[in-house]
């Protein structure tokens, strides 16, 4: 149990286009999902916290108009990178917390490699 999927696993796009990444909890419901960004050989940086049925909470320095997050259901959150630029190229990882307690474990998706040309 506790499987999280992401789609696509990798995507290449042209500068100026928008890209949508899906994060799904396959065998549990997740009230809260998280979106992270990881640069090569670096740690994960939290971008935003996604709550089902409400607006996402963005970390300081993350542009909410550029990184649109929609948590439409208890099993799906999407991240849309709008007007992508080469500096947005990165590894994007989502996680879903199984349970509503703060001590509940976050389970991570396999990540999406975004390359913007």
Partner 1 sequence: AQSVAQPEDQVNVAEGNPLTVKCTYSVSGNPYLFWYVQYPNRGLQFLLKYITGDNLVKGSYGFEAEFNKSQTSFHLKKPSALVSDSALYFCAVSRLGSARQLTFGSGTQLTVLP
Positions of E strands within 1-117: 4-7, 10-13, 19-25, 32-38, 44-51, 57-58, 67-73, 76-81, 90-97, 106-108, 112-116
Per CB under 8 A, does 110 bind partner 1? Answer: yes
For residues 77 and 29, what is the distance between their CA atoms, to the nearest angstrom?
A: 11
Per CB under 8 A, does 90 bind partner 1? Answer: no
Per CB under 8 A, does 89 bind partner 1? Answer: no
- Residue 13's nearest CA partner among 76, 90, 71 is 90
- Residue 32's nearest CA partner among 1, 55, 9 is 55
Per CB under 8 A, does 13 bind partner 1? Answer: no
SS3 52: coil
Counted residue by residue, the chain has a size of 117
Q: Which is nearer to partner 1, 57 or 82 (CB)?
A: 57
Residues 29-48 that bind partner 1 (CB under 8 A): 32, 34, 41-44, 46
Q: Which is nearer to partner 1, 32 or 88 (CB)?
A: 32
- Of the candidates 52, 62, 82, 108, which one interacts with partner 1 according to CB under 8 A? 108
Per CB under 8 A, does 75 bind partner 1? Answer: no
Residues that bind partner 1 (CB under 8 A): 2, 4, 6, 32, 34, 41-44, 46, 49, 57, 91, 93, 95, 97, 102-103, 105-111, 113
């Amino acid at each position: 149990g506790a499987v999280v999927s992401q789609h696509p696993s990798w995507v290449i796009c042209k500068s100026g286009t928008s890209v949508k990444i899906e994060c799904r909890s396959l065998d549990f419901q997740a009230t809260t999902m998280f979106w992270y960004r990881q640069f090569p050989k670096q740690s994960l940086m939290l971008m935003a916290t996604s709550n089902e049925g409400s607006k996402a909470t963005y970390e300081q320095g993350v542009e909410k108009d550029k990184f649109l997050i929609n948590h439409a259901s208890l099993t799906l959150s999407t991240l849309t990178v709008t007007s992508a630029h080469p500096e947005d190229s990165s590894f994007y990882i989502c996680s879903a917390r199984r349970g509503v307690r703060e001590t509940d474990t976050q389970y991570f998706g396999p990540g999406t490699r975004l390359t913007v040309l």
